[in-house]
Structure 1
Amino acid sequence: MADIIIKNAYVLTMDPDKGDIESGVVVIEDGIITEVGSSTESTAEKIIDAREGVVMPGLVNTHCHAGMTLFRGYADDMPLKEWLEDHIWPAEAQAGDEDIYGGTLVACLEMIRSGTTAFADMYIHMDMVAQAVEESGMRAALSYGMLDFGDTEKADAELKKGTEFVREWNGKADGRITTMYGPHAPNTCSRDFLIRVKEQAVRDNAGIHIHVLETEAELDHMKENFGMCSIHFLKDIDFWGPDVLAAHCVWLSDGDIRILAEHKVNISHNVISNMKLASGIAPVAKLLSAGANVTLGTDGCASNNNLDMFEEMKTAALLQKVSTMDPTVLPASQVLEMATVNGAKALSINSGMLKEGYNADIIIVDMKQPHLSPAYDIASHMVYAANGKDVKTTIVNGKILMEDHEITCLDEQSILERMKRISKNLVSRINS
């Protein structure tokens, strides 16, 4: 007997071999999808009637700082350098374990509600982040954000901390948690430190999550100090590879794009954060044309200010169209691939499609909404018309985390009450 059968659904499989199924079923057993088709002979303990709903893979957010829900709206409308150095970093210095734990739980609630089933996170107090993820039922690739600014003693301490986290948490929570190394960026980490991180990641068979060329200021810094941009700098130390997840990648030349594609680097496009901080427009269409694996991420709530991947999909598509003056660029189907198939590939998780043998990371979108009627093209609707609030059911690893808009995995009210308390206390410490 199966655990769950979802029936009477429009199944958006994202599987190129199968395509969409207008009235289909998805069968789940032991956390795995065992059948996807028009009908089934299986029986299950739990039957979900998804009539007038779209069943699709959960969205994958490939660049996030989950605990930054603490700073949602805290420091808006300012340049990145000022925002980061004068406001965010000093505020983060005051944040403790309870703050980051509470902030991450709120982030998990927000993601579950808006259809994200897996995310990549780079931040601080990562043991608390991992604990929150474990409790939430979500899937995540976690990394401790490391900076050394050329300080040898700090580099030793940061790498030690990063290594301990990687080894402690990888494979935990029934395999839902994987770990990565998280050197912050080429302009905040020294050359020797980045070499050591790469070597350690190879030894531990772990991925690497890093910010790259988010701003023109980084580009100028690297050229002034090293005579080359971040892409060539990292190529020079054999840093690039399919184990690397590079966030932002805004200030790229055509040569940079070729290097990223040739080395099979995974790229996380964070369109709304880049727009809000006026960082620039990433050449996503060129990256995809070159064969690069481009994914989508929200970045943290302090620079977005939400974690709604549906909003991210729509904005990514629209900005590429207007920036290239080509309405055919980044069609809905391709954006959906970025948010599902490509994201799962970047995080090395067996998700991103509704396919036999894949993880049961699934969402159901309620189509009984005025803004989703009529429905001529489901993929188009998911990108251009739907939003996170339309998600009614979220399943991760075969476990129902939200059903009919009701969170079943966490005590939502107590988490929100905790956030009120810790955010108030945190601001008072910052301002004291």
Structure 2
Amino acid sequence: MIRSDVAKRKRKTAYINATFFTMDKENRVFENGMMIVQDQFITYIGSHSKEQLVDVDQVVDLAGKWVMPGLVNTHSHIVMTILRGIGDDMLLKPWLEKKIWPMETQFTTEIASVSAKLGILEMLKSGTTTFSDMFNPNGIDSDDVIHAVGETGIRGAFSYTIFSFGTEEEQKMNLREAEQFSRNYKTFADGRLTTMVAPHSAYTCTPDALTASAGIAKDNNLMVHIHVSETNDEIMDIESRYGFRPVEHLCRLGLFDQPTVMAHGVVLNDEERAMLKQYDVRVAHNPISNLKLGSGIADIVRLLNSGIKVGIATDGVSSNNNFDMFEETRTASLLQKGVYKDPTKFPAQTALALATRGGAEAIGMGKSTGSLEAAKKADFITIYPYDKEHLHPLREAYSHLLYAARGSDVADVYIDGKMVVKDRSCLTIDEEKVMSEMNRLQEKLLK
């Protein structure tokens, strides 16, 4: 059978009649722009061009929508979504020890899978296409859970958390299982999912466990994901135990020899920032979670001025309490302006870059996603602004994306060029079923 030329090559789709916010290094904006996607990749982004349409197979009229890269959430805990609203208004240490960890010991694989799906459903519908997550494997079949995550169509890193709890043998088993998980899922779900080596923190992992984690990361060429310098109490605790503050403690143990994402970085001094820059340690900034837990406000302006890669993150919804990256990014910007008493700090272009391109670079995915550029994956979202009063006047669209937009404004979501959300309905997750199951399982868990 002779195949046609169209069948031989990959199908090309052109998206037209939209304003494209590329979020690339030049922050280009194309009104009445056009983007062409072929085989999951962007092949053209720019002004409308009849010449580019010559060999296109399908033209999608976006009817004046705004188009931007999918948002990148650099630190989350989707398996904890079932704990939303549990343990509000508590400090971090008692919140973990008296509420979160005891409840996580009761998790089943069903709870973990449904909780993860609900978290991803919320992420997708609010415009997040890529995430980096740490999950507690206690009591669950982690293979089943990552397969459930893979079915949703999202991109990201889903990482098995390492703890130094229990007997010495249990600690060794935790490390062995974490390494096996890392190897098994380094490339998963058609390359959309990977994993990182994720020791929880310096206060929950022994020096031996942290050194072993560094070894696993090096042997498997993986990034590290860890909570660091979240509170003043953590700083004093680690300093009293080991004689060094957390950043230097981790550096001495070799953890930073592999590219590392540290969540929080609220309490840092100049020497530590210099060390983070030297070892190319990236920071996942979680402003709302840090505020809610009373941890403080990270100095993101100083981190950026030091040349450190920074991404925006929500943390888990048990301490946030949602996955709305638009709200998170706006909060990040406003906090820096308020702390510095300077409205020029953390402007819209900077903030939106950290929620997209900067976040992707922070978690090691900057070559494939985070901006609308030729040769990058077609991960993008659309917003239909015309029936949303808070997005008018339309002329100031770039400003509105930071200071006015909400996750609920997102209309469509594409990952790898495939539509996963259409007109605010998720195509990869049974929304009604997941929400019903989540309520049933939380009732069962609380009993």
Instruction: Tell me the TM-score normalized by structure 1.
Output: 0.96
Pick aligned residue for 1:27 from 25, 36, 45: 36
1:85-164 pair list within 5 angstroms = 85-125=97-137, 126-149=142-165, 152-164=168-180
1:210 and 2:222 are equivalent in the alignment = no
Residue 164 of structure 2 contacts residue 171 of structure 2 at CA under 8 Å; is this kept in 1? yes
Gaps of 5+ in 1: none
Task: Quote the Cα distance in structure 2 between the aligned partners of 1:323 and 1:208.
Answer: 30
Residue 241 of structure 1 contacts residue 264 of structure 1 at CA under 8 Å; is this kept in 2? no
1:187 and 2:203 are equivalent in the alignment = yes
After alignment, is 91-100 or 405-414 more displaced? 405-414
Residue 28 to residue 377, structure 1, CA distance change in 2 (3 Å)? same
Task: Quote the Cα distance in structure 2 between the aligned partners of 1:327 and 1:314.
Answer: 13
After alignment, is 128-137 or 174-183 more displaced? 128-137
Pick aligned residue for 1:363 from 369, 381, 391: 381
Aligned residue number for residue 22 of structure 2: 13
Task: Quote the Cα distance in structure 1 between the aligned partners of 2:239 and 2:333.
Answer: 31
Aligned residue number for residue 335 of structure 1: 351
Aligned residue number for residue 388 of structure 1: 407
**Residue 390 of structure 2 aligns to which amino acid in structure 1?**
H
Task: Quote the Cα distance in structure 2 between the aligned partners of 1:10 and 1:118.
Answer: 22
Task: Show CA shifts across 1:32-76 (max 9, x none).
Answer: 111112123155555432233211100000100001110111111
**Residue 443 of structure 2 aligns to which amino acid in structure 1?**
K
Task: Quote the Cα distance in structure 2 between the aligned partners of 1:265 and 1:50.
Answer: 39
Task: Quote the Cα distance in structure 2 between the aligned partners of 1:201 and 1:150.
Answer: 23
Query: 2:255 is paired with a residue of what secondary structure?
Result: coil
Instruction: Tell me the TM-score normalized by structure 2.
Output: 0.93
RMSD between aligned alpha carbons? 1.5
After alignment, is 181-190 or 149-158 more displaced? 149-158
Residue 222 to residue 42, structure 1, CA distance change in 2 (3 Å)? farther
1:413 and 2:425 are equivalent in the alignment = no
Residue 114 to residue 405, structure 1, CA distance change in 2 (3 Å)? same
Task: Quote the Cα distance in structure 1 between the aligned partners of 2:178 and 2:64.
Answer: 46
Task: Quote the Cα distance in structure 2 between the aligned partners of 1:292 and 1:28.
Answer: 32
Residue 66 of structure 2 contacts residue 384 of structure 2 at CA under 8 Å; is this kept in 1? yes
Residue 213 of structure 2 contacts residue 255 of structure 2 at CA under 8 Å; is this kept in 1? no
Gaps of 5+ in 2: 1-5
Residue 62 to residue 129, structure 1, CA distance change in 2 (3 Å)? farther
1:66 and 2:91 are equivalent in the alignment = no
Query: 1:164 is paired with a residue of what secondary structure?
Result: helix
Residue 416 to residue 337, structure 1, CA distance change in 2 (3 Å)? same
Pick aligned residue for 2:66 from 37, 54, 67: 54
Task: Quote the Cα distance in structure 1 between the aligned partners of 2:166 and 2:260.
Answer: 22
Report the Cα offset of residue 99 of structure 1: 0.1
1:164-179 pair list within 5 angstroms = 164-179=180-195
Aligned residue number for residue 221 of structure 1: 237
Residue 149 of structure 1 contacts residue 190 of structure 1 at CA under 8 Å; is this kept in 2? no
Report the Cα offset of residue 120 of structure 1: 0.5
Displacement over 6 Å in runs of 4+: none
Report the Cα offset of residue 190 of structure 1: 0.9
Aligned residue number for residue 3 of structure 2: none
